[in-house]
């Protein structure tokens, strides 16, 4: 996402990084909410099986944290490799 924004020159690098991070966080949160709603609608034991949390009440939060840490890691790698700088020299 950040690379696409920078290649198209749609925003500054800092804004591209923040937008990319918040986009991943929003998609992760939306997925967890949809998963939760499906489990509520399905109800009972079947709903709990869909969640797959296996009794962990913090499963959704842990999933969103893992998504956020993955996004941060990829942004750090992106900053270190700086493909947008290579575009100017290439």
| Predicted local distance difference test score (pLDDT) of residue 18 | 92
Angle separating helix axes 13-42 and 59-81, nearest 10 degrees:
160
Whether residue 50 lies inside any domain: the answer is yes
Name residues whose C-beta falls within 8 Å of residue 42's C-beta, 6 or more positions apart in sequence: 50
Whether residue 46 lies inside any domain: the answer is yes
Per the structure, the count of domains in the chain is 1
Torsion of CA 5, 8, 14, 18, to 10 degrees: -10
Helix (H) or strand (E) holding 34: helix 13-42
| Predicted local distance difference test score (pLDDT) of residue 43 | 75
Whether residue 67 lies inside any domain: the answer is yes
User: Whole domain around residue 47: which residue ranges?
Assistant: 24-89
Residues 71/21, Cβ–Cβ less than 8 Å:
yes
Specify the pTM.
Answer: 0.76
**Mean pLDDT, contiguous 10-residue spans, the chain (90 residues):** 84 90 94 87 74 76 93 91 61
DSSP single-letter state for residue 55: T
Whether residue 8 lies inside any domain: the answer is no
Whether residue 42 lies inside any domain: the answer is yes
């Amino acid at each position: 996402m950040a690379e696409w924004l920078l290649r198209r020159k749609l925003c500054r690098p800092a804004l591209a990084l923040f937008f990319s991070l918040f986009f991943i966080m929003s998609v992760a949160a939306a997925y967890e909410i949809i998963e939760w709603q499906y489990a509520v609608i399905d109800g009972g034991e079947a709903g709990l099986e869909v969640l797959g949390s296996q009794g962990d009440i913090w499963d959704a939060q842990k999933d969103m944290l893992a998504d956020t840490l993955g996004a941060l890691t990829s942004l750090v790698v992106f900053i270190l490799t700086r493909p947008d700088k290579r575009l100017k020299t290439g």
